[in-house]
């Protein structure tokens, strides 16, 4: 390769890197406005805990419907960035409709209906843009965590603006601002590098994404997917009930406080590439598991002592837990599968974590919340049970997972 060709290639890679960073930044800002305070927004509208549980069930239900099919489309028929862009635009419209219904005090079912449409339409977007990033980055293991941290920075900025500028911790305004950034995200997605499908098939099984289940034959992938689903169950409590606990402890800026977790995520993302060179994948995944156990321990102590300060370190290490387990897990799975299966692999991961794991977790959390918090206001017991469950899952994973590094 000549020097001119080398310079041209570096400039092209730099431009791809910049576009991906900008896209992930805006991707994080959208939900960063409304997601951390969603429970408080719902309760401020006068709706009870049963509506909180129902609305949080929407996310995992949606993740069981569309990600696998959309991943197959991206692998077989449609360019990934085009599919993600059109889904993002459609989801923006339904999100505005959902929060408009909330603002104008229509029956909760109107909000639930439009919010469900938003979740179903938007569920594949995350997996699709990850597929684009992992396809075009020259060194995904080193570069993807650095690109992904811009999503976290966007989330942090959104939390700060929501609490300290818009004062929208518990108002529909958070949803409107989030929708505006989702519209901006649509534009950024459409200018991502072209990512055409790599697979060619006429099989209905492949087009529906069912070929992804063949990946479960690989023991390391199967164990990691099961562990991801298990960990997703207690992790579902982070946005579902942590803001409520903060408000119960007289923290009026819960959205801002929840952003503490993203600061540690930025640090973890920045050094993930180095960590993956220095340590085994299993070691890093177990540290992520351990941080999750520790996080619930801090929350439990805050509940028993009725002191909000103990919530802060627990929230802060959320980012370390998420990065070292879920992000590293995504990278590991991507390098373990054939490039023609990348979209379906990400779709299968979304199905098991955001879908099955979070769905089961949300149902279980609803029951646990009823028996511990709603009946006796015992937040300490609530978080202690989640800590024990996570610890048992970690022991199972430690004894079962064996890393395989070749396809």
pLDDT tens-digit readout, 317-331: 988 998 999 989 888
Q: Are 319 and 261 in contact (CB under 8 A)?
A: yes
Helices (H), 104-218: 108-136, 140-160, 173-190, 204-207
Rounded-to-integer distance, Cα 405 and Cα 401, Å: 13
Cβ atoms of 149 and 265 within 8 Å: the answer is: yes
Structure token pair of residue 337: 């599968």
User: How far from 90 is each of 96, 119, 185, 392, 405, CA to CA, in Å?
Assistant: 10, 11, 12, 41, 39
pLDDT at residue number 385: 97
Residue 203 lies in a domain: no
Q: How far apart are CA 123 and CA 273, in angstroms?
A: 27
Task: Classify residue 200: in a domain, yes or no.
Answer: no
| Mean pLDDT, residues 206-214 | 62
Contacts of 134 (CB under 8 A, 6+ apart): 140, 144, 331, 334, 342
Q: What pLDDT was estimated at residue 95?
A: 96
Q: What are phi and psi of 85, to 5 degrees?
A: -65, -45
173-204 tens-digit pLDDT: 999 999 999 999 999 999 999 888 765 555 54
Instruction: Say what the pTM is.
Output: 0.73
Q: What is the pLDDT of residue 407?
A: 45
Report phi then psi at 49, rounded to 5: -65, -25
Whole-number average pLDDT of the chain: 86
Domains: count for the chain: 1
User: What is each CA distance from 260 to 87, 319, 321, in whole angstroms?
Assistant: 30, 8, 13
Q: What percent of the chain has pLDDT over 90?
A: 44
Work out the average pLDDT over 252-272. 81
Mean pLDDT to the nearest integer, 3-23: 76
Averaged pLDDT for residues 42-55: 88
From the list 225, 176, 168, the residue with the least C-alpha distance to 345 is 225
* Crossing angle for the helix pair 108-136 and 80-103, to the nearest 10 degrees: 160
CATH number assigned to the domain comprising residue 131 = 1.20.1250.20
Does residue 407 fall inside a structural domain? no
Cβ atoms within 10 Å, residue 246: 26
Q: Is residue 406 part of a domain?
A: no
pLDDT attached to residue 94: 96
Q: Is residue 202 part of a domain?
A: no
Banded pLDDT at 27 (limits 50, 70, 90): very high
| pLDDT number for residue 8 | 61
Confidence of residue 207 (pLDDT cuts 50, 70, 90): low
Q: Is residue 69 in some structural domain?
A: yes
CB 404 within 8 A of CB 220: yes
Q: What is the largest CA-CA distance in the chain?
A: 72
User: DSSP of 164-195, one letter per residue?
Assistant: IIS--TTSTHHHHHHHHHHHHHHHHHHTSPP-
Tokens of 328: 């590293």
Distance (Å, whole) CA 337 – CA 59: 27
pLDDT surpasses 60 at 2: no
**Least confident span in 169-178, 220-229, 344-353, 381-390:** 344-353
The winner for highest mean pLDDT among 100-104, 237-241, 263-267 is 100-104
Going by C-alpha positions, the residue among 214, 162, 148 that lies closest to residue 37 is 162
Between CA 278 and CA 208 the distance in angstroms is 39
Does residue 204 lie in a domain region?
no
Residue 105 lies in a domain: yes
* Mean pLDDT on 111-140: 88
Residue with token string 């300290």: 164
Decide which of 404 and 322 is more confident: 322
CA pair distance 146, 46, nearest whole angstrom: 41
Query: What is the residue range of 100's domain?
Result: 3-195+209-400
């Amino acid at each position: 390769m000549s020097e001119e060709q080398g310079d041209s290639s570096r400039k092209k890679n730099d431009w791809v890197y910049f576009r991906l960073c900008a896209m992930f930044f805006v991707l994080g800002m959208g939900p960063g406005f409304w997601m951390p305070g969603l429970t408080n927004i719902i309760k401020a509208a006068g709706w009870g805990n049963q509506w909180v549980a129902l609305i949080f069930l929407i996310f995992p239900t949606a993740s069981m419907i569309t990600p696998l099919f959309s991943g197959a489309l991206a692998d077989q028929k449609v360019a990934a960035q085009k599919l993600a862009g059109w889904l993002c635009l459609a989801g923006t419209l339904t999100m505005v409709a959902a929060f408009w219904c909330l603002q104008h005090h229509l029956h909760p079912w109107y909000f639930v209906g439009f919010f469900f449409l938003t979740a179903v339409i938007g569920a594949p977007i995350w997996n699709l843009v990850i597929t684009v990033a992992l396809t075009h980055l020259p060194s995904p293991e080193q570069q993807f965590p650095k690109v992904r941290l811009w999503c976290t920075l966007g989330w942090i900025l959104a939390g700060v603006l929501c609490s300290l500028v818009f004062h929208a911790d518990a108002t529909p305004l958070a949803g409107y601002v989030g929708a505006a950034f989702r519209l901006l995200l649509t534009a950024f997605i459409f200018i991502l590098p072209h990512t055409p499908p790599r697979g060619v098939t006429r099989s209905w099984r492949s087009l529906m994404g069912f070929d992804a289940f063949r990946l479960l034959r690989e023991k390391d992938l199967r164990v990691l997917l099961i562990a991801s689903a298990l960990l997703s169950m207690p992790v579902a409590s982070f946005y579902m009930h942590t803001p409520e606990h903060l408000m119960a402890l007289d923290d009026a800026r819960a959205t801002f406080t929840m952003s503490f977790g993203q600061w540690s995520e930025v640090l973890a993302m920045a050094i993930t590439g180095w960590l993956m060179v220095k340590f085994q994948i299993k070691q890093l995944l177990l540290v992520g598991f351990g941080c999750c156990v520790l996080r619930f321990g801090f929350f439990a102590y805050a509940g028993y002592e009725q002191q909000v300060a103990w919530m802060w370190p627990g929230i802060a290490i959320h980012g370390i837990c998420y990065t070292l387990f879920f992000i590293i897990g995504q990278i590991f799975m991507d390098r373990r599968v054939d490039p023609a299966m990348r979209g379906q692999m990400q779709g299968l991961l979304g199905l098991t974590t955001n879908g099955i794991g979070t769905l089961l977790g949300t149902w279980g959390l609803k029951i646990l919340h009823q028996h511990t918090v709603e009946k006796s206001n015992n937040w300490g017991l609530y978080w202690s049970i989640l800590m024990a469950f996570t610890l048992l899952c970690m022991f199972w994973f430690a004894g079962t997972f064996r890393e395989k590094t070749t396809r």
